[in-house]
Amino acid sequence: MSVVVGVDVGGSKVLAAVVSPTGDVVRSVLARTPGRLVDAAVVEDVMTDAVRSVADGEDIAAIGVAAAGFVDQSGERVVFAPHLPWRGEQLRGRLTERWGVPVALDNDANCTAVAEATYGVAGGDGTTVVVTMGTGIGGAILVEGRVLRGRNGMAGEFGHMRVVPDGQPCECGGRGCWEQYASGGALVRYARAQIGLEPSVLTEACGGDPDRLTGPMVTDAAGDGDLVARQAFGSVGHWLGVGLANLVAALDPHRIVVGGGVSAAGDRLLDPARVELERSVVAAGHRAVPPVLAARLGPEAGAVGAAELARRSL
C-alpha cells in the first residue's frame, strides 16, 4: 500500500511526515534547513533526503509541500521566501520530476489552515484567521472553510505588516515587521540580550555563549519558571496581541488560531496575547472579541495540511 507524505519547509527545519487518511502522523523525520544563503538545490536535497527517510521503503502515492514563502495562485512557483533561497522557483514542476510522483505545493500557513479546518479547531462557519509562529510569522485566512488566496496567491502574509516604523531589520528587506517582535526569532533575540545581565538557567544552557541559545531552550526554561525565559514569552505574547488587534480591526474574524513551533508554549504565549488583544482592539467594549485558540495539530499542522492537499489532488 502506498503512502502520502507531507513536507513542511521552514526557515530553520524541514519536517517530513507520512500522514494517514484521517490526518494522523504515522511517522516523521526532522532535518535542519540550510538557510537562505545557499543554492536552492541544497534545500531540495535536504527535502529529498527527508522524504526518502520517512517513506522507509514504502511506495509514495503523492507528496505535499508546505513552503515558508509566497506561493503563486497556480501552486507552481515560490515567488519569494524571506528565510529560504527561493526566488521565482518553479518548485512544483521541479520536485515532481525529481520525485516521480504527483506533488502539491502551497504556502505553509495555508497548509496549516487546511489541516486545522479539516482535523482541528479552525472548522466552522464565518472567517478564521490562522497565524503560524516559527522562525517568522505566516498567516492564512479561511472564509467558510476555504482559503482566501488573494490576487497573487499571497494573502495572509501578516508577518510583514509594519508595526514599528524604522524598527528591527527584517529578512524581507523591510524594517519593523511584525515577525521581528512576535516569532521564534524574536523570542531567542530577547533572551540572548539578557544573558549575563540577569541570573538565568539559560546562561548554563547555552554555555555562556548567547549565540548557542535556541528557542526550545527558552521554552524549557520558561516551563521551569526561569524569569528571563518567562519575560521573553511575555514580550513575544504582547507583540502577538498587538498584531492580532490589527487583524481583528481589518477582518473581524469569528476565531483566531495560532500554530507553528512557538505555539507549543500554549497559554504561556497566548495569555499575554489575549490580554493585549482585549486592550488594543478598536471598540473592545462594543464588540465580540474573537477567541484566540491554540492549533490542535501543533507544529505538525503544516505537514498534515500539505499531505491533505496532495491526497485531494489524487
Local confidence band at 298 (pLDDT 50, 70, 90 cut-offs) = confident
Check whether 292 has a pLDDT greater than 70: yes
Do the Cβ atoms of 125 and 254 come closer than 8 Å? yes
3-state secondary structure (DSSP) of residue 94: helix
What lies within 8 Å, CB to CB, of 239 at 6+ separation is 163, 178, 181, 182, 186, 276
- pLDDT tens across 61-110, in order? 999 999 999 999 999 999 999 888 999 989 999 999 999 999 999 999 99
Pairing state between β 103-107 and 60-67 = parallel
Question: What local confidence, expressed as pLDDT, does residue 37 receive?
Answer: 66
* Mean pLDDT value of segment 145-158: 91
Check whether 253 has a pLDDT greater than 80: yes
Comparing CA positions, the residue from 59, 72, 66 lying closest to residue 16 is 66
| Residue 31 exposed, middle or buried by CB count within 10 Å (0-12, 13-18, 19+) | middle
pTM of the model: 0.89
Q: Which three cell numbers stand for residue 249?
A: 480591526
Do the Cβ atoms of 47 and 8 come closer than 8 Å? no
Rounded to the nearest 5 degrees, what angle is found at the Cα of 47, between the Cα atoms of 257 and 50? 95
Local confidence band at 116 (pLDDT 50, 70, 90 cut-offs) = very high
Residues 44, 27: Cα–Cα separation, whole Å: 21
Residues 296, 262: Cα–Cα separation, whole Å: 13
- pLDDT tens across 4-50, in order? 999 999 888 899 999 999 999 999 999 998 877 688 889 999 999 99
Residues 141, 127: Cα–Cα separation, whole Å: 7
DSSP annotation of 168 reads S
Question: What local confidence, expressed as pLDDT, does residue 271 receive?
Answer: 95
Question: What local confidence, expressed as pLDDT, does residue 67 receive?
Answer: 94
- pLDDT tens across 186-200, in order? 999 999 999 888 899
* Mean pLDDT value of segment 250-259: 96
* Mean pLDDT value of segment 151-164: 92
What's the whole-number average pLDDT of the chain?
93
Ordered by where they begin, the domains of the chain are 3-114+301-313 (3.30.420.40), 124-295 (3.30.420.40)
CA count, 13 A, side-chain hemisphere, 166: 0
Rounded to the nearest 5 degrees, what angle is found at the Cα of 118, between the Cα atoms of 7 and 68? 30
Structural Rg of the chain based on CA atoms: 19
Return phi, psi of residue 237, to 5°: -65, -40
